[in-house]
Structure formats: structure tokens, C-alpha cells
Amino acid sequence: MKFEGEHLLPGQIGQFFVILSLMAAFVATISYFNAARNNIFLEKNNWIKTGRVAFYIQTFSVFAVFATIMYICANHLFEYMYAYKHTSLELEYKYLLACIWEGQEGSFLLWAIWHGVLGIILTKKSNEWEAPVMSVISIAQFFLMLMILGVYIGNLKIGNSPFTLTRNEIQAPIFSRSNYLTFIKDGVGLNVLLRNYWMVIHPPILFLGFAATIVPFAYAYAGIQTKRYADWINPALPWALMCAAVLGVGIMMGGKWAYESLNFGGYWAWDPVENASLVPWLLLVAGLHTMVIFKATGHSLRASYLFAFLTFIFILYSTFLTRTGILGDTSVHAFTETGEGIAFTLFKHLFEFKYMNVLIFLYLTSFTIPSLFLYFKHYRKIPAIQKEENTNTREFWMFIGSLVLFLTSIFIIAKTSVPVFNKIFNTKIAPPEDVEFGYNKIVVLITTILGLLTALTQYLKYKNSNTKVFFKSILLPTIISVVIFIVLIIFYPFTHYKHGAGFLGAIYVAAFASIYSAVANAMYIFSIQKGKILNAGSPIAHAGFMLMIVGMLISSANKEVISNSSSNGITLPGGGIDPMTKQADNPTENLTLLRQVPATLGDYRVTFLNDSAGKENGKKFYHLAFENKKNKDNFLLKPDVYLMKGGNMSSNPDTKSYLLKDVFTYVSFAVNKKDEPEDTTKFKEIPMSFGDTAFYSNGIMVLDTVINNPTDARANTGIVPQLALVAKLKIIAKDSMHFYANPILTLIDSNTIKHIDDTVYAQNLFVSFLGVDKDKKILVGIKEANKLIDYVTVKAYIFPMINLVWLGLVIMAAGIVISMLQRGNFTKLQTRIVLIATVAFVFYMFLLAGA
């Protein structure tokens, strides 16, 4: 059958480039693999040239596939399943890129793009390391392209193609018709939680960090493969630093997305997917510290190998966790489209994966098993200084810090992997009732240890330190830190009493350690390095990291819910579902606002003004006017929701940011007016003279006067009327509350009369100026609606000092970039340019998203 209106050429072109990319990646892998093992110069060089050409073709093909998908999505070619699932006609164009990497195929493609970019750079810069390093990257590209191949070999399907046709994927009667496209009016569209600016920029940055972790891995492999066991550290260290900066920023951009798009009231909730991305970063940071130790002293080379391997292995493990469906019911981030979950037991059968899950598992094991096998096989051949470090040296405590990071990562990944353990061993280990506290009580202790280590270790010397000089150097930072901490305790004590005095005390200790580290590292720049910023990458990064931790401790410990309905307002349905804990909100922390009726939220008087429709179907903004009762500061917040069928809704918060705090508000309940029955109530006509009283069910109204041609803004309809009259009515409710209504009657021309009604939302009362009767009495129309009063339920927080989190992140990234440029032998001019560009980019992203 020939189907009408299908555009098959883009899909054919895209699939061609997928296959070409796969073949080119295979050729590049074989070529570089042979080059790495060939000692004959001419043959080695020929293999390298072949590998380069194949890799360039592969990278070009990957970009061609991406461009084709973008064309299909941008033009809403719903004959393709990918466009039908991830795009819709209503979707704003700025979210087009987010549509592409919403799906598994698009995110794998994004990963492959970054591998291609990094690989091209390495072909130009890695020199004698090119062959073994590029063989690793090429085989990774081969696996990634397998993920999107979508080809059947018999009954075996290899990968999921982004170019499959909708009619081949969905079974429905319409696909038996040649004109089925005329029945597909729109696509499913982008997940409403992903319709956020951060979903355009966060995934590319995060996947660049993911992709870059393969470079230290590849150099470590090259060190073993070439038996140049120690030489790989020099070229790998700048890459490790770059990766740490990019991956760290990418992870926290995800936190900013969660802060702006999810309504759990924060930026980090120990969600399994968050944890799976954090663990490789912790291992990477541990590894780059052991690399620095080796360069300075010759110690910790074996640990550097292990951390370089484990970092990329855990990137692949996080892919396994998030894309196989095993976390589908424990994480709001996880991909679940490849299946309902993994079902495998250790003794009965190894796995019952779907085909995509098999590929992901093979991708993981193909890098894990060979790398760890080579590591342990060559372990004794890797140089190691047998003499132990002195305890008064920098390298000793740096290694302790790396060990703490390693143990932290093991703790986090073990708790995160409980669903995997349950599947393997058929157990039913349940998460703790308070998941966040289960992590926080351990991480607070770790924060204390890392804070003290990063504060003190910087002042020690490699190999040997003078104890008197050390204590003299650290004395002033210690005094300043103690003073700052005392001021904090007196003027801004922590109020996190939820988990008892012991945990509150632990928070105080962690806060002191973090402040101590930030102050000590900041002072180190000026006292020891004499203000030479371009040589101070390490203390800048440490100071920024600990400043970020200080912001996290304060903003979390002193987070205040100001939407308290137990002593203010009323409690209607309210209380949404926390997307992290899957539990209902505390209803008393949700305040219901009646339209046009002020209520109190902490120091603010808040009025629900009105609502407005967004550009996408079902999206609605709720306009909340805030006024600070103390300083009369005014601002407008517009949290929005997607109202869906069956009463479901997805809420996106809105935030007013100040220097020292954020006012964070989201809609926890809203009525979908489409589900309400039509209001059939009619206006009741009442003749009134000036001073007359009319009754309604909840009170009385008095006609004060009628004004001729008012200046009321509501009378400005864009058309100059011949006559405009406004009736001034005072409304007194049974509870003695006073309201005012000002309905307007306008005469546009001799044949056209326009009524501008007024509404008293608190009384569910509509008032209209209907005209003047023969007795010259004013005809006032009164309608008491039979539907529920217009209202919205909100939850609001104060996040104190949260800007320290984002400021600390920027400073940390800048410090790591400075270290990268210093280790990479960049000139001072190049360093300044890259540093300024990096800081400007990160600030711009946060400011733009905040706007």
C-alpha cells in the first residue's frame, strides 16, 4: 500500500548515516587498535591515517543524523515515531532541542556527538598517545551507534532507531488506511517537566562531562597497553580537570532545573539518577588529586589508575541504572521506555533483558571487565614507592581526602543500587521512611572531614612540612573562621529541629568546617601565593566548593515554609504529591488563596489576582501579587501548572530572588475549569435608586452613585464610547466584611451598548449595570454563581543564602579551569581568555534562566 503524505527521504538519509557511522566507528577501532600494537613506523602511520579518516567520517555522520532528527522534529513529521512521541504543534520552538534528547536515542546521539568532538581534538593533540587512546573512544562510538541502529537480524533487534515509522510501531485501525496522516492531528509532545530552559542547556553540558570521562580512562588504558605506566598522567591530568569542571557544573545545572521545575522545594533530593551522576564526579575528583600527588611525589600512581577506570565505569553503570527501567518507580528522572523493568535472578538465569537493555549491559561489561582485568594483571608492574608518606605532608592528607571521596561514592552507589540488589537476589529491601535523612546524616559527617582536610592540607608542604610554620600560617584563618561561626550562631542560628539535637549539632560542626575551609583557602591565595590568581586554581576551587556547601547547609537547615494555613486562611483540597517521596504534602503547609482576597504568607501579604493561559494546551499561569508588610516591597510571581485529564497536574514553581534569599512558590492544587459544569445562573434584575439597598444570600449591597464618563481603566476598551456610566456599589457581607463593585455601562454608538461587569470573588458575586428603567431607576444585575469560588492552593518557602550555592559553583568551576590551564601549559593570555569566557558563560546561563 502506498501511504499518502509521508516524507520518507529524511528517514532514509538519517538511517544511512547511522549505518555509515557504525561502520566507520568499527573501521576506526580496528585501525587504531592495530596501530597501537605495531612498532613498524610506516605501517603504524598508515593504520593511524586510516583510523583518523574513519573517525572523521564517523563524526560527520553523527552530526548528519542529529541534523536529520532535528529536521524531522522541527517540521512535525508525525509519520516518524520519534517526532510523534516527543514533539507537538503547540510546543514553543525554544524547546525543540530538549525534544531531541528527551528520548533515549537522542541522548545517546548527544553522547556520541561529544565523543566525536573530543576525539577530533585528541587526533590533533595526543601525539604519540593517539592510537591507544583513540581505539578506546572509537569502540565507545561503535557501542553508542549500536544503540540507535534499529536493525533486525532474524528476530533479534539491535538498538532503537529514531527513524522508525509511527505506523510500524503502533497498532491501530487508522494505519490500515493510506491517508492515516490526516487523522494524526498532533504529537504527544515534550514531557511537561522538561519544558524548562535548563533542559535545553543542562543535558549538553552534563553529557559533555559524561563523554569526557572516557579520556582519562583511555589514557590509563594507553599507559598499560604501551607499558609506559607513569607517562600517561601528564596528558591525562588537564583532561581530568576539564571533565571535573564540566561534569560538576552539569550536575548542578540539573539541580537548578529541579529547583525551578519540580515542586519538592529544593535542588537536591538524593534521587537515584542524581546520585548516579554524582558518584563518577566524586571518583574523578579523588583521581585528579592522586594524579597531582604522583606528579609531586611519585606516590599514588596505582590509585590514579583505579580512579580513572572507575570514573568511566560508573558513568556506564549510571547509564545502566537510568535506561534499563530498573529505577522507573524510584526516580523522576529515569528513562523507562525500553521496558517495564529488568527481571533477572542470579541462579535461575542471568537476565531476561529487552534487546536495548542487553546492549547497555554489554556496553558496561565491555569496558568494566577488560579494564579491571588489565589493572590487576599489571598491578605489580605499576611503579610504586614503598616508603610510606609522613603524616605531616600534603600528599598524605590529600590521599586521605581521596580515600574519603572514594568511600563516599561507594556508600552512595550502594544505597542507590538497592533496586538492583533486590532484582538480583530476589530480596525486598525497602528504602528508609525518610530517604533524604538516610543520606544526610552520613554526608554531614563527610562534609566535616572534607572541610577540615581542605582547610589544613593546603598549608602543608609536599614530602616534609615545618610544623611551626604550618601552625603560624593557619592561626589567622582559624581565628577569622571562629569569629564568623560565632556570629552565625548568635544572629542566624540553624532551625532544623526535625531530626533532633544530635543532627542539629552535626550541622553546626559541618558548617564550621565548611566556613573554615572557605576562609583558609581564600586567605591562602593572598598569604601564600601573594594574590597570583592564575597560579591559585586549587585554593579557588576548594574555596568555591566549600562556599557552595555552606550555602547548601544554610538554605536547607533554615528553609522556612511560609504558606501556613493552620493559623491563616483556609484549607481546601490543597497538598500535592511530592515527586521524590511519592507522599502527600502536609495540608497545613498549603494555603488556599481566594481570588482578589489578600492572605498572609510569612512577612508577605499575597493576593491571587487572576490566571492566564500559556502557549501550550493545558498550561496556565497563576498571578500572585506579593507585598512585604515591613518594607512594602512589591513583586509578582507567576507559578504555572499543566492541567491534564483526570485531575492530574504538573506544577512549575516561580521564584523571586534577592541577594540573601529566594521566595519560592508553586501551585499545589488548581481546579481544571474544563472539568467544571457550565454555570447556568442568570442575572437577577433589581431597580435601585441612590441609597437603596438590595439583598443577596450572604449580605446586602447599597447603590451610592453613578459617575458619568469615568476615568476607570476598566472602561478603556480601545473604542471611544459616546457615553460611559459607572455604578458605585458598596457590598456588606454577613460577617461585616466590606467590598466594592463598579459595573460599567457604555454606549459605543446609537445601536451598540456594552456592559463591563464586576466580580466580587470573595462572595462569588457578579454585578452588572443593565441600564435605566422608565422610572429612571438604575437596573442592577446580581448573579450568585453556583460554581465553586475561584481559588488556587499554593505552597511557599523562603530559601536563605541560596545564592551562595550558585556563587560557590561558579568559583569552584573557575578554580578547576585555572588548574586545567596551568597543567596544560597554557600561556597567561590564553588562561585569562578561557577563564573569563568560562565564568561569563556560567553566569550568563544562570542569569538567563533566572530571567
pLDDT at 597: 82
**Looking at the predicted structure, is the pLDDT value of residue 646 above 70?**
no
* Sign for the pseudo-dihedral over CA of 705, 707, 712, 718: positive
Residues 737 and 616 in one domain: no
Is the per-residue pLDDT at 608 higher than 80?
yes
Q: What is the distance between the alpha carbons of residues 277 and 216, in angstroms, rounded to a whole number?
A: 17
Q: Decide if 539 is inside a domain.
A: no
Averaged confidence pLDDT in the chain: 86
Does residue 216 lie within any of the structural domains?
no
Residue keyed to cell 610554620: 469
Asked whether residue 164 falls in the same domain as residue 23, the answer is yes
Say yes or no: 85 and 172 in one domain.
Answer: yes
Establish if 226 belongs to a structural domain.
no
Site of grid cell 535461575: 348
Domain termination residue (choose one: 195, 220, 248): 195
Answer whether residue 844 is part of any domain: no
Percent of the chain with pLDDT over 90: 53
For residues 697 and 633, state if they share a domain. Answer: no
Residue 83 and residue 139 in one domain: yes
**Considering the domain boundaries, does residue 809 fall inside one?**
no
Whole-number pLDDT of residue 753: 82
Flag whether 525 is in a domain.
no
Query: 604, 627 in Cβ contact below 8 A?
Result: yes
| pLDDT at residue 264 tops 60 | yes
Q: pLDDT tens, 328-373?
A: 555 555 544 443 333 333 333 333 345 677 888 899 999 999 999 9
Q: Mind listing the pLDDT tens digit for each residue in 706-722?
A: 988 776 545 555 555 66
Assess whether pLDDT exceeds 80 at residue 403.
yes
C-alpha to C-alpha distances, 222 to 135, 238, 764, 784, nearest whole angstrom: 9, 16, 75, 80
pLDDT at 614 (0 to 100): 74
* More confident call, 55 vs 101: 55
Q: Name every residue whose Cβ is closer than 8 Å to that of residue 364 and which is 6 or more positions away in sequence.
A: 313, 316, 317, 319, 320
Secondary structure class of 131 (helix, strand, coil)? helix
Residue 304 resides in a domain: no
- Is residue 791 within 8 A of residue 593, CB to CB? The reply is yes
Tell whether 667 and 692 lie within a shared domain.
Answer: no
CB hemisphere CA count around 29 (13 angstroms): 14
Q: Assign 153 to helix, strand or coil.
A: strand
163 and 51 in a single domain? The answer is: yes
Of 147, 172, 195, which one is at a domain's C-terminal end? 195
Q: Are residues 38 and 120 in the same domain?
A: yes
Q: 0.75 exceeded by the pTM?
A: yes
Same-domain check for residues 688 and 669: no
**Which residues pair with residue 727 across a beta bridge?**
706
Assess if residue 446 is contained within a domain.
no
- Domains contained in the chain, number: 3
Residue 571 reports pLDDT greater than 80: no
Residues 645 and 688 in one domain: no
Q: 467 and 474 in contact (C-beta within 8 Å)?
A: no
Confidence bin at 79 (pLDDT 50/70/90): very high
User: Do residues 152 and 26 share a domain?
Assistant: yes
Count Cβ atoms within 10 A of the Cβ of residue 832 and give its class: 0-12 exposed, 13-18 middle, 19 or more buried: middle
Task: Say if residue 7's pLDDT is above 90.
Answer: yes
Give the mean model confidence (pLDDT) for residues 498-506.
Answer: 92
For residue 139, give its domain range: 1-195
pLDDT value for 594? 84
> For the chain, how are helix, strand and coil distributed in percent, rounded to 5?
55, 15, 30
Give the position of cell 605501517: 43
606 with 688, same domain: the answer is: no
Note whether 447 and 514 are within 8 A (CB).
Answer: yes
582 falls in which pLDDT band (50, 70, 90)? very low
Final residue in a domain of this structure, among 170, 195, 220: 195
